[in-house]
Amino acid sequence: MDDFTQEELRALDSEGRALLTQHKICTWEGKEKTLTLINVYCPHADPGKPERLTFKMRFYRLLQIRAEALLAAGSHVIILGDLNTAHRPIDHWDAVNLECFEEDPGRKWMDGLLSNLGCESGSHMGPFIDSYRCFQPKQKGAFTCWSTVSGARHLNYGSRLDYVLGDRTLVIDTFQASFLLPEVMGSDHCPVGAVLSVSSVPAKQCPPLCTCFLPEFAGTQLKILRFLVHLKQDPVFKQSALQPSNQTQVHMRQNKARVRSTRSRPSKTGSSRGQKNLMSYFQPSSSRPQTSNLDIPSLGTLVTPKTSEEDVVANVVEGQAKASEAKDEKEIRTSFWKSLLGGPSPMPLCGGHREPCVMRTVKKPGPNLGRHFYMCARPQGPPTDPSSRCNFFLWSRPS
């Protein structure tokens, strides 16, 4: 740890990128040994942020020191997870077109960490083995990560960033298989795994941070009082809050007296004090005209005369004509607004497939930030694959 300062160690561990668990295993020879699993999510080196590449390489260095220290202590070690580096050209879909692929710092670190079972004598032999390449050394298209934005997974246009690395002795003696699960969806990565010919030895007692010790998983109904916390107050503050001072009491009495003086008092004349009777709101008003002065029409005027059949037919025909006129007027208005508001223009066709394009927005900082453009709607794939996305590009005209 002499290569790291305390501040750097805290910074490297502050992002929660490693989870370490230790287990007891029993080999086929009947020997009990300790197995340490280091689940990692290694940092990504953003080209626009050079400091993240430094952070990534320091994280790699610290991970290797921790793993080698566990090996020196007599434990088997497995490093698994997202290492965020495609090791060999066979692990990347476009390694041929990448400049200085072999000179990448992350790949050089993996060269020093890993050893190849087929390498010649005298070459470098790292403490760990890539278990998948141990069983599938020449398998092409074995990728674990694809771009979800470009839909590259449909054509398997990705890279292998997820690994199961085991120490040399463990892989040679106990590993039976190592596999990828690209058919499992739900993320831009797919799961990876391995099969070991060992059995796990149960612990004598559960770890203190085991879930079964948490009260919410104890299997019993919790009381609401468990979620409440007693508030501890200063006795002086509590007494002052409950018993106001003399000045405050005098001020409160003056306010109450002022409110009583400004409150309107009901008049004693007229109706008796108290709540009114509900029937008082239904008494006839003096301004309402009397029913005796109204001219009541005779019964004959209230009877509607019967209309003839010709009048009924005429009314129906007139109603249908009005409905037809209203429909024609609605269609005229609709056609007018359609001619005035044409709607969005049709998508242009890409040059490679003559298919409708998709619109995208520039999100990279620069002079074109926020501009719209058209590109081929097909998923990204190898340039030699005719079913993959063509290189069509067209800027969208401003509205």
Looking at the annotation, which residues are catalytic? Answer: 41, 82, 189
Residue 45, classed as helix, strand or coil, is coil
Q: CB count, 10 Å around CB of 45?
A: 19
Asked whether residue 230 is marked as a ligand-binding residue, the answer is no
Q: How many angstroms separate the CA atoms of 66 and 38, rounded?
A: 10
Buried b (16+ CB within 10 A) or exposed e, 257-291: eeeeeeeeeeeeeeeeeeeeeeeeeeeeeeeeeee
Would the annotation count 189 as a binding residue? yes
CA angle 90, 94, 95 (to 5 degrees): 55
- Is 188 assigned a ligand-binding role in the annotation? yes
Q: In whole angstroms, give the CA distance from residue 281 to residue 260.
A: 30
Output the six-digit token pair for 353. 């497939």
Residues paired with 38 in a beta bridge: 20, 79
* Inter-residue contact 95 to 86 (CB < 8 Å): yes
CB 159 within 8 A of CB 153: no
In whole angstroms, give the CA distance from residue 328 to residue 337: 14
Looking at the DSSP bridge assignments, the partners of residue 19 are: 39
Please enumerate in sequence order all residues whose Cβ is within 8 A of that of 363, keeping only pairs 6 or more positions apart, or say none.
369
Nearest CA to 159 out of 248, 93, 98 is that of: 93
Q: Per the structure block, which two tokens stand in for 366? A: 């620069």
Q: What is the rounded CA–CA span in Å between residue 181 and residue 14? A: 31
How far apart (Å, rounded) are the C-alpha atoms in residues 364 and 347?
Answer: 23
Determine the residue type at 46. Answer: D
CB atoms closer than 10 angstroms to residue 122: 6
Six token digits for residue 375: 């590109």
Q: Is 84 annotated as a binding residue?
A: yes
Residues in binding site: 82, 84, 188-189
Residues in binding site for Mg(2+): 82, 84, 188-189
